[in-house]
Amino acid sequence: MSSRMKNLLTPVIAVLLGVLVGTIIMIVSGYDAIAAYTALWNGAFGDVYFVGEVVRQVTPYILAGLAVAFAFKTGLFNIGVEGQMLVGWVAAVWVGVSFDLPRIIHLPLAVLAAGVAGALWAFIPGYLKARFRVHEVIVTIMLNHTALYVTNEIIRSVLSDGKERTDMIAESASLRSPFFEVLTDYSRMHWGITIAIICAIIMWFILEKTTTGFELRAVGFNEHASQYAGMNVKRNIILSMVISGVFAGLAGAMEGLGTFGYAAVKGGFTGVGFDGIAVALLGGNTAIGVILAAILFGGLKVGALNMPLEAGVPNELVDIIIALIIIFVASSYIIRWFIDRISKKGVK
C-alpha cells in the first residue's frame, strides 16, 4: 500500500476507533448509543439552522487548525494559538468599535488588525526560540495565560469603562451576512467562512509552491543542513511563528466580528485554540485535511448540544470521543503497523 493511501486511511481509522470506543462507553454507562448518535446528527445536520451553526463553528476551527498545522509543518509546536486568538479577537473589536469608516475600509482594517495582533503575539516565542533557543512550547503555554489576563484588562479599562464587555462593533466592521442568515433560518453563519477557505489555500500555496515555503519546511526538517545550505534559520523560525500567529489572530476576528460582535471579559479559555491542535493532528497538517477535520469537530461540537435534549445523553461524551480520536491519531504508528500487516497478507 502506498504511503499516500496510508496517510489517508490513518485519520479515518482513528475516527472510527474513537467512535467505536465512545459507543462502548455509552453502552456501559447505560445510555442508548443509537439514540445518542441520532440526536447528534439531528443537532448538526437535521435542520438548515443547525447546518449554519456548524459552518459558523467550523470557521474559527479551520483558522486555528491552520495556525497549528503551519507551525507543525515547519518543525515548531505552536501551543499558543488560544492566546493569539484572544489578542486577535480584542484587536478586531477594538477597531470595530473605535472608528466610523466606510465598510470597504472598516471591515478589512478590523480583520487586518486581528492578523497583526496574532502575528505580534506569536513573534515573541518565535524570537526567543531563534535568538535564545527557548523552547516555543513553554513560552506559548505561558503566553496563553498572559493573553487572557491582558485582554481582560484591556476590555475593562480601555474598551468598556469598567464593564464586563465592549459595545457592539459598528455594522461596517461586521462579518455578519443577511444572505446567510436568511438562507440558514437566521443562524450565526457569516462571511468568515470564505476568509477561512482563502487562508487554507494561502497556506497550501506558501508551503508547496513558493521558495519561502520550501525553506520553512527545510528548516523544520533539519536546521543544521538548512544553515549549511545557506538558509537563514533564525529568520525562518520567526517567520513561521508569525504566519502561524496571523492565522490564529484571524480565528479571533471570526468570533469578534462574526459570531458575537463584541469582546467580553473571560473567566477562562474559549477552547477553540486548543481544539485547533486536534484539528491539525487529525487533518495531517495539510490544508484540505484541516478543513475536513474542522467540519468533523464542528459537527460534533454543535450536534452534541442536542444530545441531552433528545436522548438524555450528556454532551460531555462527545468530548470523550474527541479525546479518543486524538489518542488514536497520536498512536498512528500502531494503526500504520496494522495497515502494513493487512497489506502484506493481502499480497500473499
Give the tens place of pLDDT for each residue, 36-74.
999 999 999 999 999 999 999 999 999 999 999 999 999
Weakest mean pLDDT among 47-51, 98-102, 151-155, 323-327: 323-327
174-203 confidence digits (pLDDT tens):
999 999 999 999 999 999 999 999 999 999
Mean pLDDT of all residues in 314-338? 83
Decide if pLDDT at 102 tops 90: yes
pLDDT band at 348 (very low <50, low <70, confident <90, very high): low
Decide if pLDDT at 3 tops 80: no
Whole-number Å distance between alpha carbons of 291 and 283: 8
Decide if pLDDT at 333 tops 70: no
Decide if pLDDT at 289 tops 80: yes
Per-residue pLDDT at 206: 97
pTM for this structure?
A: 0.95
Average pLDDT across the chain, whole number:
93
Decide if pLDDT at 346 tops 70: no
Other C-beta atoms closer than 10 Å to the C-beta of 280 total 28
Decide if pLDDT at 34 tops 60: yes
Mean pLDDT of all residues in 297-303? 95
